Structure 1
Amino acid sequence: MKRKLGAMIRTIREDRGISRHMICQEENALTVRQLQRIENGECYPSLPSLIYLAEKLDTTVSFLLDEE
């Protein structure tokens, strides 16, 4: 599940031409290293981080979790 979620986040980000640095900006909500670990399937994002990622990727949490 971690790898599937991470792959989904990476695919959407890359398809939209968004860099990790653009997502993390000032790293207040999420660091580049954390995003890298999430995308590599090494860890799950926290709920606030998942909501933040969904907003930055212009999608929904349920889509990221493949629940739609």
Structure 2
Amino acid sequence: MKYQIECNTGKINQICLICQLSFQTNEVRLIICNDQGESYGDLCYQCIANGGDWVQFQLQKFSQKLLALN
């Protein structure tokens, strides 16, 4: 998985990839992508605030779920 940071000019409603809660983006978005650059979704600011190690652990669990679907 890759992280993509984008500047955001308008507020967009998103669903957090980790906690599944709806949130509104601010000036910056953190988007999680696969190795081909295809977006899985955004992370909310509350999940980002939990820290890099916590986010990495949650994304590993997400990745395992994706592998189980294939």
- Alignment TM-score, normalising by the size of structure 1: 0.32
Which has the bigger relative contact order, CA under 8 A and spacing at least 6? 1
Query: Based on CA coordinates, which of the two structures has the bigger radius of gyration?
Result: 2
Which structure shows the higher strand fraction? Answer: 2
- Alignment TM-score, normalising by the size of structure 2: 0.31
